[in-house]
Amino acid sequence: MPRRIWILARKELKAFFDSPTAYVLLTVWAAVTAFFFFRAAYLIGEASIRPLFELLPWLLLFFVPAVTMRSLAGEKQDGTLEILLSHPISEAEVLAGKLVANVLFLLTAMLSTLTIPLALSLGGNLDIGMVVGQYAGAFFFIVGLSAVGLFASATSRNQTTAFIVALALCFILVVTGLDFVLMAVPSALTDTVRQLSALTHFESMTRGVITLSDVAYFAALAAVFMTLSYFLVRRERESINTGRYRTLRLGTALISVVSILAALIATNIGGRLDLTAGRVYSLSSTSVKMVRQLPDPVTITLYASRELPPEAEVAYRDVRDRIVDYQAVSRGRVKSVVKRAGSDPKDTQRISEAGIQVVQFNVLRQDEYQVKQGHLGLTVEYKDRRETIPFVSQTADLEYQLTGLIRKVSVVERKKIGFILGDKAGGAVDPMNMGGSQGSGYLGWQEQLRGQYDVEILDMTDKKEVPADVGVVVLAGFSGDVGTDTIPAVSGFLDGGGSVLALVDAVNVDELSLQATPVDSDLTKFVAERGLEVEGKIVFDMQSNQPVALGDEQSQYRLPYPFWMKVGPASDNPAFRDVGAVTIPWGQPVKVKKGTKKAEPLLRTTRFAGVQEKNFDIAPRPDMAVNPNDLKTRVVAAAREVDGGGRLVVVGNSVFLTDKFLGGSENGIFGANVIDWLV
Element (H, E) at 386: strand 385-389
Q: Has residue 149 got a pLDDT over 80?
A: yes
| pLDDT at 419 (0 to 100) | 94
Last residue in a domain, options 277, 297, 326:
277
- Distance CA(398)–CA(381), nearest Å, equals 17
Same domain, 49 and 68: yes
Q: Is the whole-model pTM more than 0.75?
A: no
pLDDT tens readout for residues 30-41: 888 888 777 766
Q: Answer yes or no: do 100 and 235 share one domain.
A: yes
Report the C-alpha gap between 486 and 502 in whole angstroms.
Answer: 13
Task: Report pLDDT for 270.
Answer: 59
pLDDT (mean) for 77-97 = 82
Per the prediction, the chain carries an average pLDDT of: 84
Highest mean pLDDT among 108-122, 179-193, 410-424, 487-501: 487-501
State whether 303 and 244 are in the same domain. no
Given a cut of 50, whether residue 428 has pLDDT beyond it is no
359 and 288 in a single domain? The answer is: yes
Among 288, 272, 279, which residue's Cα sits nearest to residue 334?
288
Could you read off the pLDDT of 20-71 as tens digits, one per residue?
888 888 888 888 888 877 776 666 556 567 778 888 899 999 999 999 998 8
pLDDT of res. 268: 59
Say if residue 139's pLDDT is above 70. Answer: yes
Nearest to 487, CA basis, from 519, 460, 518: 460
Q: Are residues 434 and 566 in the same domain?
A: yes
Closest CA to 424 of 472, 480, 506: 480
Please give the residue that has the higher pLDDT: either 230 or 311: 230
Range of the domain at 221: 3-277
CATH number at residue 301: 3.40.30.10
| Helix or strand holding residue 146 (H, E) | helix 128-154
Distance of alpha carbon 232 from alpha carbon 378, whole angstroms:
49
**Contact call for residues 473 and 500 (beta carbons, < 8 A):** yes
Q: 264 with 372, same domain?
A: no
In sequence order, the 6+-apart residues with CB closer than 8 A to the CB of 444 are 437, 659, 662, 663, 668
Residues 423 and 393 in one domain: no
Residue 418's φ and ψ, nearest 5 degrees, are -105, 125
The pair phi, psi for residue 354, each rounded to 5°, is -80, -10
Task: Report whether 657 contacts 445 (CB < 8 A).
Answer: yes
Check whether residue 475 and residue 386 sit in a common domain.
no
Q: Are residues 319 and 456 in the same domain?
A: no
Query: Do 236 and 114 sit in the same domain of this protein?
Result: yes
Pair (305, 156) in one structural domain = no
Taking alpha carbons only, the member of 71, 66, 74, 70 closest to residue 9 is 71
Report the b/e string of 41-73 with b at 16+ CB within 10 A: beeeebebbbbbbbbbbeebbbbbbbbbbbbbb
CB 592 within 8 A of CB 599: yes
The band of 562, judged by pLDDT with boundaries at 50, 70 and 90, is very high
Whether the CB-CB separation of 193 and 182 falls below 8 Å is answered with yes
CA distance 437 to 661: 9
- Range in 42-51, 596-605, 627-636, 662-671 the model is least confident about: 42-51
**Best CA proximity match to 624, nearest among 540, 538, 525:** 540
Q: In this model, does residue 434 exceed pLDDT 50?
A: no
pLDDT of res. 513: 85
Q: Which of 392, 410, 428 is the last residue of a domain?
A: 410
The pLDDT value given to residue 124: 64
Among 353, 380, 410, the domain boundary falls at 410
- Cα separation of 87 and 84, whole Å? 6
Residue 308 has pLDDT above 80, yes or no: no
pLDDT at 45: 58
Overall number of domains in the chain:
3
Q: Is 84 exposed, middle or buried (CB count within 10 Å of its CB: 0-12, 13-18, 19+)?
A: middle
For the chain, what is the radius of gyration of the CA atoms? 31
Residues 6+ apart with CB under 8 A from 573: 600, 602, 639, 677
Does residue 576 sit in the same domain as residue 594?
A: yes
Q: Which of 650, 668, 678, 656 is nearest to 503 (CA)?
A: 650
The answer, yes or no, to whether residue 477 has pLDDT greater than 60, is yes
Q: Read off the pLDDT band of 437 (50, 70, 90).
A: very low
User: Three-state SS across 418-465?
Assistant: EEEECHHHHCCCCCCCCCCCCCCCCHHHHHHHCCCCEEEECCCCCCCC
Query: What average pLDDT does this structure show over 58-86?
Result: 85
Task: Name which residue leads in pLDDT, 15 or 489.
Answer: 489
- Can you state the angle between helices 50-68 and 91-111, rounded to 10 degrees? 140
pLDDT digit string (tens) for 177-223?
Answer: 786 777 677 766 776 787 788 888 888 788 788 888 889 889 999 99
